[in-house]
Structure 1
């Protein structure tokens, strides 16, 4: 059986699943049951119009003509014989939260790097070359601190939410690749039927995960409270120590 086709363009994608069409645009996810689709037709050479049984049209864009034509054909073949006249009433739209695009990270990282080089150059000009080297290499502990500290806080917030309303499920290992290599993730299905992946190199066949029913994408391995609290405290302590060390090498030249 062929793998499900995905039509993509930029940060938008359309996944042809077994019983529905899942369209993702940024943080918005639209699920269209195939029974609600009347027909799929090309719109130009690289776009698809999905016409629902009540006449509402959803337009999906692709990156090239071949992929778009193949997606239209696959979607038309996947449509069931019996359709539901409710059409757009069966469509669900969810907000998956903040989505950070890759180019945001690239531009932000380059901006910070250039700013750091400029600051180190200024220190070298105003003081000595040794001071400039000290400032430059203090970026590593400062970066670790900037990542670890908010990371520990966010993980702590997630753990509190999971402790209050989390649902525990047993995720099964995904099996092996055709070449016999073990896959590096486990899978579980939430109460709404959506599958989520937990990447881990554990050798077990099952792992217990706790997920938030309000946001099933927030999950974590089930562990004793003491182990969770100790890990978060150590991560927070590491972040604060690195912030102090790296920050001292920066602010000392500003005053």
Structure 2
């Protein structure tokens, strides 16, 4: 089968430096169509830089990548037509209602029936009852769900979610997880960056661990678990957690559930 038909994102040898700071040192990974790929790493590992390059907001110093079959350098306009990017903070207009936010984006994209598009997305993300309220009254999880709904207007085949649950409480995070799983179930390809181990473990079909500018591990959760031998506890086999795998491959230890404490690049 044609690789372009089965692979939504292909990344080969991406490099990026900011003056003397090498952020990406040759990053390689592929993302299958309709799957969720989690790029997991500490703050400062280069996750956001990788996403900005793939979404054509930054230019790589070296390497190549294709998104939805298009080269990010020579076919940047086609890439931008194929993707949606949701950053770390919800980009909703708090003065407008949830429905008005969606209608506005649909009109800006010159789509037909913006009201119907808005109503369909409100229903899809369980926001119908809140659709007439100003977004300023929404909880963190509701704002993020609205943000993701806005990013889906126009049906982009690939969506980048850059640390979508940063700053959210546990209930709001679960709401966003449900929304992300719904995206993949509908056939959308999702590249998710996160520093939360449980988030990658919960959502991802494949996980790439980005450390010191390189992907040092890439595989399914089952494949990553095989990197560490199971512990024997009272004659019951205990499978390693993703947290144990992460710190085994990158070194160090952290009990917070998130990794790192420096600002990501």
TM value normalised by structure 2: 0.22
**Higher Cα radius of gyration:** 1
Greater helix content: 1
Question: Relative contact order: is structure 1 or structure 2 higher (C-alpha 8 Å, sep ≥ 6)?
Answer: 2
TM value normalised by structure 1: 0.23
